[in-house]
Structure 1
Amino acid sequence: MKILFVGDDWLGSNARSLAEGFRHLGHEVMVIDSTAATLPPRLSPSWLYAKSHEQRAPWTVDRVHQRLERAGAELRPDLVFGFKSVHLDQRRLLDIPAALHVHYSPDDVANPQNTTPDYLAHESEWDLVVTTKRHNLRELMARGAKETLFVRSAYDPAWHHPAAKRTTRQYLVGFIGACRPDRRDGMVSLARTYGAQLLVAGPGWRRVRRLRTTRAEVRPGVFGEDFSMTVASVTANLVLLNSDNRDTHTCRTFEVPAAGGLFVGERTDEHAELLDDGAEAFLFSSRDELDDILERCALFPDQATKIAEAGYRRIVEGGHSYADRAREILNALD
C-alpha cells in the first residue's frame, strides 16, 4: 500500500514509531510532520495564538495541509492515516483522494482535551477510528463513528531495548513520564521516603518546588534510546496511569519491559493480562503495597533482575511492537 501518514514526527514520538511500523511491513510510507501546528514552540507566535484562541494557529495548520496536499498529489495514496490529527482541518484531510482514511488516537477520545469541535463534526466520515482505550469503542459508536478498532499501545524496538548503563549510580525506584496533577503528591511522598534512591525524569517535574527540596534526582524528559539508557539505571521502574484518560494500560506498559526494566505498575485487569504479577512484573494497588515491593527489590536484587528478564521475554515475544499494531490495523481494514 501507499500510505500518506500525518503525525508529530519528533524523535521518539509514538507517531514516528507507528509510521515506521507500517514501513517495516513493506508498505510505502510518506510522513508529513504536524508538530509545528500541534505543538508550537513555547512563546512563539503560534504558541501565543493557541493560548489565546484555544485552537492552533491557522497559518501553521495551512502549511501542514499544503505539504499534505502536495504529497498526496505525488504519492496518490491508498490510505491517508492521521495520528491524533484533531487540530488539523478535517475537511481538507478527508478530501485528500484515497481509498481509505483512518484516524488513530493514543488518548481517551471522550476527554475533551483530545478532540476539537471540527474533529467531532467529521468523526463519522473517517473509514476507521482506532483507539488504545477499550472503553472508547462503545462511546465512538454512540457518536456515530463508521467503524472502530481497539489496539493496545506498543513499544518501538529502535528505541526500547536493553541498553548499557551510562552511570555507576543505581536508583532503587524511578519514574519516567510527564508531571500531572494526579501524580504530583504521590511522587513528592515517594521522594521524601526514598530520597536519593529515587529518580524522576519528565516534563514539568523541575517546576515542582516540593520535589526539588528532597534528595531525589529530578531530570527533564528522556526520549528515544535515552529512555532505555535511563531505565538501565533503575531497579524498579514505575508505570503510572493517566486518570484523565481512564488508562488501564499505557505506552510505558510495553516500553519499560522491552527496555529490560522491572515493571512495577498500577494493578489493572489489562496489566494482569499482559504480565504475570510476581513472576514477570510487580503490580500494586496501594502505597503500602508499593513500599513492600520496593523493600523486596532492595533486599533481593537478583530476584528483581530475574523478574525483569521474564517480563522482557513476555513483551518482546508477545507481538507488541508498533509493526504488530500496524498489522492489526491493516487486517481490520481488509
Structure 2
Amino acid sequence: MRILYIGDDWVGSNARSLADGFREAGHEVVVVDSTKVTLPQRFSPPWIYSKLARRRAGWDIMAVHDEIDRLAADFTPDVLFVFKGVHLDQQRLLSVPARVRIHYSPDDVSNPENTSPAYLAHEAAWDLIVTTKRHNVSELRERGARAVTFVASAYDPAWHRPCARRGGDRFLAGFIGARRPDRTGLLVDLAREHRSRLAVYGPGWRREPALVRAGAAVRGPVYGEHFSVAVAAVTANLVLLNSANRDTHTCRSFEIPAAGGLFVGERTDEHAALLAEDSECFLFSGTAELREILDRCDRHPGQAAKVAEAGYRRIVSGGHRYVDRAREIIDAIA
C-alpha cells in the first residue's frame, strides 16, 4: 500500500518508529512531520501562542496541511495515517483523497489532555481509530467511532537494544520519563533513601528541588540510542504508569526489557501477561514491595541480571516491534 503518514518525525519518537514499521512491513511510506504543531519549540512564538490562546498556531497548522495536500496530489495514497493529529485541521485531514483514513491515539482518548474539541467533533468520520488502551475500545465505540482496534505499545530495535555501559555511572534504580504528580512523591522518597544510587531522566525533573537536594542523579530526557545507554547503567529500571491515562502498560513496558534492562514495574494484568513475575520481571503493588525488590536487587545483582536477560529474550521473541504493530493495523483494515 501507499501510506501518507502524518506524525512527529524527530529521532526517537514513537511516530517515527511506527512509520518505519510500515516501511519494513513492505509498504511505501511518505512522512509529513507534524512536530512544529504538536511540540512547538519552547519559548518560540508558536509556543507562546499555544500557552496564551490554548491552541496551536494557525500558521504552522496551515503549513503542515499545505504539505499534506501537495504530497497527496502527487503520491495518491491508499491510506492516510495520522499519529495523534488532534491539533490539526480535522476537516482538511478527512478531505485528503485516500481509500482509508486512520487515526492513531497512543494516549487515553478519554483524557481531555489527549483530544481537542475539533477532533471530538470529527472522531466518528475516521474509517478506523487505533488505540493502545484497551479501556478506550468500548468508550470509542460508545462515542460513535466507525471502527476501533487495539494494538499494544512496542519497541524499536533501531534504538532499544542492549548497549555497553559508558563511563563510571552505575545506579541501583532509575526511571526514564516525564515529571508527573503521580510519580514525584515516590521518586523523591527513593532519592532520600538511595541518594546518588538513583538516576532520574526526563523533562521537568530538574525543576523538582527535593530530588536535587536528596542527591539523586537528575538529568534531562534521553531518546533514541541514548535511552538504551541510560538503561545499561541501571540495575533496576522502574516502569511507572501514567494514572491520568489509566495506563495498564506503556511504551517503557517493552522498551526497558528490549534494551536489556531489568523491568521493575507496577503490577497490572497486562504486565503480568507480558512477562513472568520473578523470573522475567519484578512487579510491585506498593512502595513497601518496591523497596523489598530494590533491596533484593542490591543484595543479589547476579539474580537481577538473570531476570533481566530472561525478560529481554521474552520481549524480543514475542512479536513486539513496531513492524509487528504495523502488520496488526494493516490486518485490521484488510
Q: TM-score range by the shorter chain?
A: over 0.9
SS in 2 for 1:175: strand
Q: How many residues align?
A: 334
Match of 1:297 in 2: 297
- Large movers: runs of 4+ above 6 Å: none
Q: Distance in 1 between matches of 2:140 and 2:76?
A: 29
In the alignment, the residues of structure 1 paired with residue 46 and residue 215 of structure 2 have an alpha-carbon distance, to the nearest angstrom, of 38
Output the amino acid matched with 1:241. Answer: L
**What corresponds to 1:223 in structure 2?**
223
Contact 1:128 1:146 in 2 (8 A): yes
Write the distance in 2 (CA, Å) between the matches of 1:313 and 1:232.
16
In structure 1, what is the Cα distance between the partners aligned to 2:321 and 2:12? 14
Q: Which residue of 1 aligns with 2:327?
A: 327
Does the 8 Å contact 1:167/1:233 carry over to 2?
no
TM-score computed with the length of structure 1 as normaliser: 0.99
SS at match of 2:214: coil
Q: CA deviation at 1:30?
A: 0.4
Q: After superposition, give the CA deviation of every residue in 1:256-294 in whole Å (9 maximum; x if it has no partner).
A: 000000000000000000000000000000111011111
In structure 2, the gaps of 5 or more residues are none
SS in 2 for 1:32: strand
Partner of 2:236: 236
The one-letter code matched in structure 1 to 2:259 is A
Q: CA deviation at 1:169?
A: 2.4
Query: For residue 154 of structure 2, what is the aligned residue in structure 1?
Result: 154
**Native 8 Å contact 1:231 1:259 kept in 2:** yes
Q: What per-residue deviation string (whole Å, max 9, x for no partner) do you get for residues 175-210 of structure 1?
A: 011100111111111000011110001000000011
In 2: Cα distance, 1:288 partner to 1:142 partner: 39
CA RMSD of aligned residues (A): 0.6
Query: Mapping of 1:43-58 within 5 angstroms?
Result: 43-58=43-58
Report the counterpart of residue 182 of structure 1 in structure 2. Answer: 182
Within the alignment, does 1:257 sit opposite 2:275 as a pair? Answer: no
Counterpart residue number, 1:38: 38
TM normalised by structure 2 equals 0.99
Report the equivalent of 1:95: 95
| Aligned counterpart, 1:2 | 2
The alignment status of 1:283 with 2:277, answered yes or no, reads no
Sequence identity (%):
62
Alignment of 1:7-156 (within 5 A): 7-156=7-156
Gaps of 5+ in 1: none
Deviation at 1:325, TM superposition (A): 0.3
In structure 2, what residue type is equivalent to 1:53? A
SS in 1 for 2:88: coil
Instruction: For 2:182 and 2:6, locate their aligned partners in 1 and report how far apart those are by CA, in whole Å.
Output: 31
1:197 aligned to 2:189? no
Tell me which moved more, 15-24 or 43-52. 43-52
CA distance in 2 between counterparts of 1:102 and 1:181 reads 32
Aligned AA for 2:71? Answer: A
Deviation at 1:168, TM superposition (A): 2.4
